[in-house]
């Protein structure tokens, strides 16, 4: 019997199928048995491409992070210090990528690990901030702060978590008399909350940057 011209499996195909499982049913649903079923292959054949479940999860997370645009952070320097604009562009791109795959967000909690796109993002953000004049120690803190903010905003919807039944709030919650309207306005409220938080963070970081760049630093 002639061998197929194209292999049944590839690492990219496995990663895409695994991401689809996570998107549909969450991280806990991802297993080699489930993935083999989705791909129509035997479980052991997966190990020819991915050695462990942890390695598979790294591939899945990194495929999402590959959608994050860091180009705005490139080229920042003492003569081009518009780091706030660049940081905002990166943060919005980061949130967009994570918001499209919210079930993957908990897997980001352990840090970049040995994930190429995750390390690319960390390198670009840190390098851009240092290039724009942030002290190295502070640049590390700013990068971590922004990551906490973006991943938190992508983890779930604050507005979408309120019941749409007005009767829920009628007894004992006098200040939530309009809360039943939040769920139907979820996208707008969540987007506006993100932009409000981003503006506040950048305003505070701007004041900190001005103080730090006027003083000796390491």
pLDDT in tens, the chain (218 residues): 445 454 578 889 999 999 999 999 999 999 888 888 888 887 677 777 877 888 889 999 999 999 999 999 998 988 888 999 999 999 999 999 999 999 999 988 777 778 899 999 999 999 999 999 999 999 999 999 999 999 998 887 888 889 899 999 998 899 999 999 988 888 889 999 999 999 999 999 999 999 998 855 44
Task: Please tell me the total count of domains within the chain.
Answer: 2
Q: Give how far the C-alpha of residue 88 lies from the chain's centroid of Cα atoms, to the nearest Å.
A: 14
Domain contains 57: no
The whole domain housing 34 covers: 11-51
- Tell me if 149 is assigned to some domain: yes
Q: Are residues 174 and 114 in the same domain?
A: yes
Q: Do 87 and 37 share a structural domain?
A: no
The answer to whether position 1 is within a domain reads no
In a domain, 58, yes or no: no
Say what the pLDDT of residue 7 is. 54
**Residue 22 domain-assigned?**
yes
Q: What was the pLDDT predicted at 215?
A: 55
Instruction: Quote the pLDDT of residue 32.
Output: 84
Say which residue the tokens 């922004």 belong to.
146
Whether 177 and 96 map to the same domain: the answer is yes
Same domain flag for 41 and 85 = no
What is the pTM assigned to this prediction? 0.85
User: Within this chain, do residues 47 and 132 fall inside the same structural domain, yes or no?
Assistant: no
15 with 109, same domain? no
Considering the domain boundaries, does residue 4 fall inside one? Answer: no
């Amino acid at each position: 019997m002639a061998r197929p011209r194209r292999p049944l499996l590839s690492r990219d195909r496995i990663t895409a199928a695994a991401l689809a499982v996570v998107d549909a049913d969450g991280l806990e649903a991802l297993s080699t048995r489930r993935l083999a079923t989705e791909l129509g292959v035997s479980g052991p054949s997966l190990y020819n491409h991915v050695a462990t479940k942890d390695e598979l999860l790294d591939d899945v997370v990194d495929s999402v992070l590959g959608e994050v645009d860091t180009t705005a952070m490139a080229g920042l320097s003492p003569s081009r210090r518009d780091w706030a604009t660049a940081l905002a562009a990166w943060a919005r791109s980061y949130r967009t990528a994570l918001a499209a795959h919210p079930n993957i967000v908990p897997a980001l909690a352990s840090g970049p690990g040995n994930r190429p796109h995750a390390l690319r993002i960390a390198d670009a953000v840190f390098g851009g901030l240092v290039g724009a004049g942030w002290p190295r120690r502070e640049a590390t803190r700013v990068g971590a702060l922004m990551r906490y903010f973006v991943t938190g905003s992508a983890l779930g919807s604050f507005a979408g978590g309120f019941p749409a039944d007005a009767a829920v709030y009628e007894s004992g919650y006098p200040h939530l008399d309009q809360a039943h309207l939040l769920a139907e306005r979820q996208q707008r409220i969540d987007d506006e909350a993100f932009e409000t938080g981003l503006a506040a963070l950048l305003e505070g970081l701007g004041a900190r940057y001005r103080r730090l760049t006027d003083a000796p630093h390491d």
